[in-house]
Amino acid sequence: MTDFNFWSPTFFAFGRGKESQTGELVRRFGGTKALLHFGGKSAVASGLIGRIETSLESAGIGFVQLGGVKPNPRSSLVDEGVRIAMAEGVDFVLAVGGGSVIDSSKAIAIGAANGGEWRRFYVGREVKVRPAIPAALPVGVVLTIAAAGSEGSPNSVINLEPENLKRAAGGDILRPKFAVMNPELTMTLPPFQTACGLADMFAHLCERYFSPTKDVALTDNLCEAVMRTVVEEGAKVMANGRDYQARANIMWAGTIAHNDICGAGRVQDWASHGIEHELSALYDCAHGAGLAVVMPAWMTYVHKADAARFARFARNVFGIGAGDGDESAALAGIEAFRRWLKSLGLPLTFAELGAKAEDIPLLVKTLNLRGNTLGGFVQLTETDVAAIYRLCVDPRFAQEKGKGA
Ligand code: NZQ
Ligand code: ZN
């Protein structure tokens, strides 16, 4: 196990009706006037925004509103949010929505606390060490989709315009002060968004599980347990979107998958996320759908680097028979993973996602490796990344030799 610092101060209020406590929670964490930030229409249509307004009013919290966050949140709305937050003197940012709303809120929180500056903290991969974020307004969350895990994470991902680059900022200062998590709020999700969320949380576990670090029994077992839970409870949620207990298990799994309790003490990978972010930047696809295409291709390409680890994944997560050798178990596990994604109705290829093979050079270019490598499990060059994109195009997979072979 590697040495680590782990600081996860978020207060979680989990269960039915918990959103009524939102105003009190804003006050408890120092807010007196909030920017109430939300997405397109779901939170307004469901009446959630109205209930949050009531909760803020009863707690004596002033607020201004800014809706309209799109999936793959745009920098122009962040700029508007920063301007409003500074002009109105807000001291708290309240996100009501999913990863996109939360990440937009985190960016606004940085800008409002740093004289309007936030963009430079969302660096490209050309800068090895990110500038530390000196200050940020406190952020609170009312979560409406189990997916990105931003409600407990120290990260924010924004689509930077006009270049259309999807880039991340990170630092414990961005971990939300609180997250209200009522599984009932996720029952209005369309099946496709529910499925995208399942793929994303599973990917967050894979990015940690596929690690070169040895002697990490606890986090290996934690990752496998959460992955199995996502598969088993995910099936129940897909069969019946109103299954409260399954929704609850999935919602907490999404947080556990990404607040780093499963990743502490391990070298992590994150290549698949980097490769996917270029897809959601260029095609504006859902992040989880992009991951459903990229993750199995990445697995196929790198599995020979540690076939025993992939075999363990196959056996412990997808129940592949113990009698098989490591290489065949590894391949069977990747195939089982693909079947699971397909059963969720997710795309598995570029064509199904709406991506184009002729864009591969552009995708590699905007990834901007500049001679550096991507990934902690296997270090990928631009050539490797292009090969993985090609595997996304061709579902037969076998044409690429793979890394570590
Ligand atoms: O805008 P509305 O109308 O609310 O619709 C949203 C949106 O279209 C809808 N939705 C959300 N809750 C709903 C609902 N529809 C019906 N009922 C509800 N209860 O779902 C759509 C997707 O929302 P979004 O917030 O984009 O989803 P998600 O939580 O998957 O977030 C994805 C974003 O998070 C980033 C991704 O890159 C992507 O931009 N990520 C952030 C991370 C982080 N900050 O730690 C880590 C992740 O790896 C990820 O990169
Ligand atoms: Zn993700």
Domain that holds residue 178: 11-186
Q: Is the Cβ–Cβ distance between 52 and 31 less than 8 Å?
A: no
Residue 5 maps to a domain = no
Strand partners, 63: 34
Q: For ligand 1, is residue 347 a contact (CB within 6 Å)? A: no
Q: Are residues 209 and 347 in the same domain?
A: yes
Q: Are residues 205 and 178 in the same domain?
A: no
Q: Is the Cβ–Cβ distance between 288 and 200 less than 8 Å?
A: yes
Q: Are residues 33 and 140 in the same domain?
A: yes
* Per-residue tokens: 69: 């966050």
User: What strand order describes the sheet that includes 139-143?
Assistant: 11-14, 178-181, 139-143, 92-97, 33-38, 62-66
Q: Are residues 115 and 208 in the same domain?
A: no
In the chain, the percentage of residues whose pLDDT exceeds 70 is 96
User: Residue 146: pLDDT above 80?
Assistant: yes
Q: For ligand 1, is residue 156 a contact (CB within 6 Å)? A: yes
Q: Are residues 225 and 137 in the same domain?
A: no
- At 128 the pLDDT is 56
Residue 405 maps to a domain = no
- Give 180-223 pLDDT, tens digit per residue: 999 999 999 999 999 999 999 999 999 999 999 999 999 999 99
Q: For ligand 1, is residue 150 a contact (CB within 6 Å)? A: yes
Domain boundary among 129, 157, 186: 186
Q: Are residues 236 and 250 in the same domain?
A: yes
Residue 4 maps to a domain = no
* Per-residue tokens: 243: 């299954």
Domain boundary among 132, 165, 186: 186
Residue 131 pLDDT level (bands cut at 50, 70, 90): confident
* Coil, helix or strand at residue 51: helix
User: Residue 265: pLDDT above 60?
Assistant: yes
What CATH number has the domain bearing residue 89? 3.40.50.1970
- Give 373-405 pLDDT, tens digit per residue: 999 999 999 999 999 999 999 866 555 567 765
When divided into structural domains, the chain yields a total of 2
Q: Are residues 386 and 318 in the same domain?
A: yes
* Ligand 2 midpoint to CA 200 (Å): 5
Backbone angles phi, psi at 319, to 5 degrees: 65, 30
Q: Are residues 259 and 339 in the same domain?
A: yes
* Per-residue tokens: 114: 């740093």
Backbone angles phi, psi at 352, to 5 degrees: -65, -30
CA distances (Å), origin 60, targets 44, 63, 90, 138, 205: 21, 10, 14, 17, 40
The span from the CA of 206 to the CA of 223, in Å, is 8
Q: Are residues 196 and 108 in the same domain?
A: no
Q: Are residues 236 and 330 in the same domain?
A: yes
Residue 235 maps to a domain = yes
The per-residue pLDDT of the chain, averaged, comes to 95
In the chain, the percentage of residues whose pLDDT exceeds 90 is 92
Report the atom number in ligand 1 closest to the C-alpha of 188: 17
Strand partners, 180: 13, 142
Domain boundary among 186, 214, 239: 186
Q: For ligand 1, is residue 219 a contact (CB within 6 Å)? A: no
* Ligand 1 midpoint to CA 277 (Å): 14
pLDDT: is 398 or 113 the higher one?
Answer: 113
Residue 323 maps to a domain = yes
Residue 100 maps to a domain = yes
Residue 54 maps to a domain = yes
User: Residue 114: pLDDT above 90?
Assistant: yes
Q: Are residues 261 and 164 in the same domain?
A: no
* Coil, helix or strand at residue 188: helix
What CATH number has the domain bearing residue 261? 1.20.1090.10
Q: Are residues 170 and 218 in the same domain?
A: no
Q: For ligand 1, is residue 147 a contact (CB within 6 Å)? A: yes
* Coil, helix or strand at residue 52: helix
Buried b (16+ CB within 10 A) or exposed e, 90-117: bbbbbbbbbbbbbbbbbbbbbbbbbeee
* Ligand 2 midpoint to CA 104 (Å): 15
Backbone angles phi, psi at 147, to 5 degrees: -165, -85
